[in-house]
Amino acid sequence: MSLIEKLTPEQEALIPVYREKWRAIALSTERIDREKAAEAVRVAYAAIGKKKPEIIFCDSSYAGLQILIQKQLPLDINKELINFIFSNLTNKNNKILYQLDTQLLNKLHILRANFITRDYLSIDELKIKTQLTKNLHSPWLKSQWLASSSCWVDFYISVLNCSYNQIRWQVLQSLAKYCGWILFYENVCIICDRPLNLRFDNQNRLHAEGEPAIEFTDGYSLYSYHGVTLPEKYGKIHPQQWQATWLLTEENIELRRVLIESIGYARICQELQAIELDNWQEYTLLKIDNNVDIEPIYLLKMTCPSTSFIHALRVPPNMNSAREAIRWVNWEIDPEEFSVQT
């Protein structure tokens, strides 16, 4: 077979079509059809010579982890089935992947779209996980992983006419289409239904303000701010109402960063009573003594002469004067050299 080095314009135009097709499947919030899900699981087990397992449906990932504890199931899911699904999906005897030029393979990598493949675990789920293992990786085989793999395989098969293993392809796409998150075991399979709601920011990161980013039908929810998982005490409150005093007790570094970025240094200065170290014209060098961040917070506060609007910018903690801080902000240009002050 000849090497495929370049896509035709028609083939290239289909890349976003297949990406969006499988993204819609990955991020669907429709209730799963339990009969179709059970049949997909039966076919998957039969493909590796196993009998149909006991199938347990649950309404959320949290409920699924509770079932793990109740049934005393191991954390590691059935690797034999996982290997069957993902290994040798394309026919190595025909060197299918080697039909594609390396540069083309890299280009088609964009088909592996971001379908929430990162572990998003709430505080409650982490507590359950610690009862099972110190390994905090999610045990779920996620529908987003299945859809991401199905996306590029579908393109290879349907657009590039690559040969493939029909049984493995049937198993992969059926599980991706008809199941939510899955836990495979020898005699038991737990299927988590899809979320009731999913919310994202403009970069497709889980995000919601004052409401859950993920909601399940049993009421279990997960809060997230631009991809960072939040505890409920922050997530249920709109960021505009977050309080600078929370920084004094928050120990998680990533959450402190989120709070600082959202609250803003201007409010932090006011609410945490920053100490004035030096000033020059409308600029003031401030220091926050409270244990808010890893290192002391030094801020250059700027007050607009015409609007009285206050803006604060963080500067290195080795600043000794307001003018030195201004020079640092303006790439070592002394404020006296400014022709126009802004």
Same domain, residue pair 46 and 165: yes
Model pLDDT, residue 97: 44
Give me the amino acid identity at 340.
V
Decide if 234 is inside a domain. no
Could you tell me if residue 118 is inside a domain? yes
Q: Is residue 83 part of a domain?
A: yes
Q: Are residues 15 and 131 in the same domain?
A: yes
Q: What SS3 state is found at 308? A: coil
With 80 as the cut, is the pLDDT of residue 86 above it?
no
Instruction: Please state the domain count of the chain.
Output: 2
- Nearest CA-CA partner of 39 in 60, 18, 55: 55
Residues 185 and 250 in one domain: no
- Residue 57 CB-density burial (10 A; 0-12 exposed, 13-18 middle, 19+ buried): middle
Together in a domain, 168 and 47:
yes
Q: What angle do CA 150, 28, 90 make, to 5 degrees?
A: 5
Q: End-to-end CA distance of the chain: give it in Å, rounded.
A: 65
187 within 8 A of 208, measured Cβ to Cβ: no
**4 found inside a domain:** no
Q: Are residues 170 and 266 in the same domain?
A: no
Query: Could you tell me if residue 261 is inside a domain?
Result: yes
Q: Are residues 188 and 302 in the same domain?
A: no
- Dump pLDDT digits (tens) for 27-46: 899 999 999 999 999 999 99
Check residue 149 and give its pLDDT: 85
Q: What is the pLDDT of residue 114?
A: 54
Q: Are 156 and 256 members of one domain?
A: no
Over residues 53-78, the mean pLDDT reads 85
- Which tokens go with 299? 């801020």
- Give the pLDDT score at 178: 96
Cα separation values, 277 from 248, 280, 303, Å: 21, 11, 16
Domain boundary among 155, 174, 194: 194
User: Are residues 21 and 135 located together in one domain of the fold?
Assistant: yes
Task: Specify the pLDDT at position 69.
Answer: 82
Contact 115, 27 (CB under 8 A): yes
pLDDT for 253-306, tens place per residue?
788 889 988 998 778 888 888 888 998 888 889 888 766 677 788 888 887 777
The pairing of beta strand 197-198 with beta strand 181-184 = unpaired
Question: Can you say whether the dihedral through the CA atoms of 143, 144, 149, 154 is positive or negative?
Answer: positive
Question: Is residue 45 located within the same domain as residue 163?
Answer: yes
Same domain, 249 and 170: no
Average predicted confidence (pLDDT) for the chain: 80
The bridge status of strand 188-192 relative to strand 54-58 is parallel
Q: Is the pLDDT of residue 94 over 50?
A: no
Among 244-248, 249-253, 323-327, name the most confident range. 323-327
- Look at residue 299 in the predicted model and tell me its pLDDT: 84
CA angle 135, 109, 227 (to 5 degrees): 45
pLDDT at 112 over 70: no
Residue 53, domain extent: 9-194
pLDDT for position 151 = 86
Q: Is the pLDDT of residue 190 over 90?
A: yes
More confident residue, 140 or 196: 196
Separation between Cα atoms, residue 44 and residue 85, nearest integer Å: 8
Q: Which of 7-16, 92-101, 120-129, 171-180 has the highest mean pLDDT?
A: 171-180
Residues 17 and 166 in one domain: yes
Q: What is the pLDDT of residue 199?
A: 92
Residue 287 lies in a domain: yes
Could you tell me which of 153, 192, 158, 190 has the C-alpha nearest to residue 171? 153
- CB crowding 217-236: b at 16 or more within 10 Å, else e: eeebbbbbbbbbbbeeebbe
Last residue of a domain, one of 194, 221, 236: 194
Per-residue confidence (pLDDT) for residue 196, from 0 to 100: 94
Backbone φ, ψ for residue 83 (5° rounding)? -65, -35
Q: 179 in a domain, yes or no?
A: yes
pLDDT at 285: 92
Same-domain pairing of 38 and 182: yes
In this prediction, residues 313-322 reach a mean pLDDT of 88
- 211 domain-assigned: no
Give the highest mean pLDDT range of 79-83, 118-122, 260-264. Answer: 260-264
Closest CA to 108 of 160, 176, 165, 172: 160
Of 194, 229, 257, which closes a domain? Answer: 194
